[in-house]
Amino acid sequence: MSINNHEQLLLEGLAKNEQKAVETIYRDNYGIIQSFILKNNGYPEDARDVFQEAMIVLYEKASSGTFELTCQIKTYLYSVCRRLWLKRLQQSQRYTATIENIGETITVDDDMTAHEKKDADFLLMESALVKIGEPCKRLLESYYLEKKSMPEIAKSFGYTNADNAKTQKYKCLIRLKKLFFAQYKNGG
Partner 1 sequence: MDDILLLDAVERYMKNEMTAQERVFFEELRKNNPAIDQLAVEHLFFLQQLENTAQRKKYQHALHEVENKLVNEGVISKKNLRGRAKVVHLWNRYRRTISVAASIAGIVSILTATVFSIYNENKKEKLITPLVDYKFRQVDAKLKQFETQLNEAAVVSKVPTPVKPKFEANFRATGFLIDVSGFIVTNAHVINNAKNLIVENKKGEQFFANPVYVNKITDLAILKINDTSFKKFLALPYSIRKSSAELGEQIFTLGYPRDEVVYGEGYLSAKSGYSGDTSAYQISISVNPGNSGGPVINRNGEVIGIISSKETNADGVVFAIKSKNIYNALEEIKKTDTIRLPLSGSVKGLERVQQIKKIEDCVFMVKGN
Pick the piece of the chain touching partner 1 (CB under 8 A) from 2-10, 22-30, 76-84, 154-162.
22-30
Q: CA 47 to CA 29: how far, in whole Å?
A: 12
The answer to whether 95 and 85 have CB atoms below 8 angstroms apart is no
The single-letter code of the amino acid at 125 is M
Question: How would you label 114-138 residue by residue, b for 16+ Cβ within 10 Å and e otherwise?
Answer: ebeeeeeeeebbeebbeebeeebbb
Pick the piece of the chain touching partner 1 (CB under 8 A) from 41-49, 74-82, 103-111, 153-161.
41-49
Pick the piece of the chain touching partner 1 (CB under 8 A) from 40-48, 78-86, 105-113, 151-159.
40-48
CA distances from 22 to 8, 10, 15, 167, 177 (A): 13, 8, 10, 38, 32
Q: For partner 1, which residue of 6, 39, 87, 117 counts as binding (CB under 8 A)?
A: 39
183 binds partner 1 per the rule CB under 8 A: no
Q: For partner 1, which residue of 41, 72, 164, 183 counts as binding (CB under 8 A)?
A: 41
Q: CA 175 to CA 178: how far, in whole Å?
A: 5
171 binds partner 1 per the rule CB under 8 A: yes
* Residues at the interface with partner 1 (CB under 8 A): 17, 19, 22-23, 26-27, 30, 34-35, 38-39, 41-45, 48, 52, 55-56, 59, 63, 118, 121-122, 125-126, 140, 144-147, 166-167, 170-171, 173-174, 177, 180-181
